[in-house]
Amino acid sequence: MKTKTSRQTTPQPSAARPFTYKDRTLHCDQVSLTSLAETHGTPLYVYSATQISERFQLFEQAFQDRPHTVCYAVKANSSLAILRLLGRQGAGFDIVSGGELERVRRAHKPALKKVVFSGVGKQAWEIDDALEANILQFNVESEQELDLLAQRAQALNRRARFALRVNPDVFAETHPYISTGLSEHKFGIDIKAARGLYRRAARSKWLEPYGVSVHIGSQIRKVAPFAAALARVTSLVSELCRDGHSIRAIDAGGGLGIDYSDAPFDAAHQVQLYAAALNKGLVGEQARLLLEPGRFLVAQAGALLTRVLVVKKNGSKTFVITDAAMNDLIRPALYHAHHEIVPVRQPIGKAAQITADIVGPVCESGDFFARDRAIAQVKPGDLVALLDAGAYGMTQSSNYNSRPRPAEILVEGDQATLIRRRETMRDLLAPEIL
């Protein structure tokens, strides 16, 4: 599908995003969201391939003077088309399940050798699949997991490369549900216990101490905690090398945040600050750096397109009810997360505004996208876009209330490609037995 490039007006929302108004209609790159809604219906996820690629290249450029591999965090958005897009550019992948491993295999098989496997509860079958795929590294999160990894490696007659995910006890200012670097969290191994575990693992012929891993959380906007965590990891690596271990990789995790507001956002500058912080923490260390960005690559590249069904008043409250719901995008209900909500048709001049709750049709009071939000006045049938929805949108979606999940579109320039069809009732009922 092609849309002619048209005259661009003043971008609104921010030019940090690929969603801009052209001739008063919101576009993703050069493709009209109105035309996408007419062709594919709503709710609809729309992503810009151009911005995803540009964000990936920001990391490649910022770390070009250091041996590194950018391992995209699959959990942020696991679309096969997006994985293939990144894999063909040289990305590795950070996975947290056997299912995500299979997605990498289907999307870009050569990238299996650049996969790191994280997560606190790996099962034997998942470890077996990853060993057979000869992934780069297991990020081990407990002593019991280390034992299981050795057992499965022996059973398959393969040597397992691993890194202990150490917990540096560094505070990161973020939502408590996505903070992972403190001793009170379920993730990782106490950094003070790591040296003994590496010593023990080195006695097994089936385990290869390959790296050290750390991840302190998600949606972190300040870079100082990254430097602090890496400084502690670097100190541990020095001790491990003195113990005779050959540590070839330091996995810095992910977690670099974005701005979900409508404020200007300089992505390149943010990545440069992040790189400077990591390099400060890694001073003098020559091991290959593994990076696990997820949200930063895909969040602002995506939007959830939805149509207004009803505008109603209950007493003094106004509700804008859309055909998208919490099952399509749960972040506002789960984290009270903020997403900018803009009309697809740009209002003329100083158009009337209303203050309303923007909600879905799911039978839950928690089914909302915004509360008491000032937005342009809309009416039934109008299209609105929830911005910055490219990460933890579709991957956290569900079929609650027996609602089929949305279709997904990947846009590059003036080309729009359907990368996931809308689910049907047949899809929903197919696994059930009556």
Catalytic status, residue 241: no
Quick check: 177 pLDDT over 80?
Answer: no
**74 within a domain of the structure (yes/no):** no
Q: What is the pLDDT of residue 179?
A: 43
pLDDT digits (tens, 9 = 90+) for 10-54: 334 445 789 999 999 999 999 999 999 999 999 999 999 999 999
- The larger pLDDT score, comparing residue 174 to residue 127, is at 127
Q: What is the pLDDT, as a whole number, of residue 180?
A: 43
pLDDT at site 350: 73
CA distance 411 to 30: 8
* CATH (domain of 165): 3.20.20.10
**pLDDT tens-digit profile of 236-270?**
999 999 999 999 999 999 999 999 988 888 999 99
| Domain annotation covers residue 63 | no
Where a domain ends, among 291, 308, 325? 291
Q: Please say which residue of 267, 291, 315 terminates a domain.
A: 291
Residue 14 in any domain: the answer is no
pLDDT for 222 equals 87
Q: What is the pLDDT of residue 348?
A: 84
Going by C-beta distance under 8 Å and a sequence separation of 6 or more, which residues neighbour residue 140? 146, 149, 162, 163, 164, 165, 189
> Cα separations (Å) of 188 from 118, 293, 334, 430?
10, 18, 24, 38
pLDDT value for 171: 54
* pLDDT tens digits, one per residue of 329-346: 999 999 899 999 999 999
CA 279/CA 153 separation, integer angstroms: 34
User: What's the pLDDT score for residue 181?
Assistant: 39
Which has more pLDDT, 367 or 173?
367
Q: Classify residue 75 by burial, with Cβ atoms within 10 Å: 0-12, 13-18, 19+.
A: buried
299 pLDDT band, cuts 50/70/90, is: very high
Binned at pLDDT 50, 70 and 90, residue 104 comes out as very high
Same domain, 271 and 370: no
Q: Are residues 173 and 284 in the same domain?
A: yes
Identify the CA nearest to 118 among candidates 193, 180, 66. 180
Asked if 140 and 244 sit in the same domain, the reply is yes
In this structure, the answer to whether residues 379 and 243 fall within a common structural domain is no
Specify the pTM: 0.92
Q: Region 169-193: what's the mean pLDDT?
A: 60
In a domain, 308, yes or no: yes
CATH number of the domain that residue 316 is part of: 2.40.37.10
Vertex 250: Cα angle to 86 and 223 (nearest 5): 80
Beta bridge partners of 250: 212, 289
Are residues 409 and 276 part of one domain?
A: no
Are 277 and 151 in the same domain? yes
What pLDDT score was predicted for residue 8?
Answer: 34
- 117: nearest Cα among 196, 184, 205, 213: 213
Catalytic residue, candidates 28, 71, 241, 363? 363
The answer to whether residue 340 sits within a structural domain is yes
Three-state SS for 124?
helix
The residue segments making up the domain with residue 387 are 19-48+300-426
Residue 185: is its pLDDT beyond 70?
no
Task: Flag whether pLDDT at 178 surpasses 50.
Answer: no
Q: Say what percent of the chain tops pLDDT 90.
A: 83
Q: Of the ranges 221-225, 257-261, 361-365, 387-391, which one carries the lowest mean pLDDT score?
A: 221-225
Q: Which of 291, 315, 349 is the last residue of a domain?
A: 291
The answer as to whether 177 is a domain residue is yes
Verify that 373 and 398 share a domain, yes or no.
yes
Q: What is the mean pLDDT of the chain?
A: 92
Residue 139 sits in the same domain as residue 229: yes
Same domain, 149 and 282: yes
Q: Do residues 141 and 281 share a domain?
A: yes
Q: Are residues 165 and 287 both part of a single domain?
A: yes
Give the total number of structural domains in the chain: 2
Q: Which two tokens stand for residue 296?
A: 């930063």
Q: Does residue 235 lie within any of the structural domains?
A: yes
CB-based contacts of 315: which residues, under 8 Å, 6+ apart?
A: none
Percent of the chain with pLDDT over 70: 93
Alpha helices in 135-256 (DSSP H): 143-156, 194-201, 224-242
Residues 6+ apart with CB under 8 A from 179: 171, 172, 185, 216, 217, 218
pLDDT tens, 132-165? 999 999 999 999 999 999 999 999 999 999 999 9
Regarding whether 242 and 158 lie in a shared domain, the answer is yes
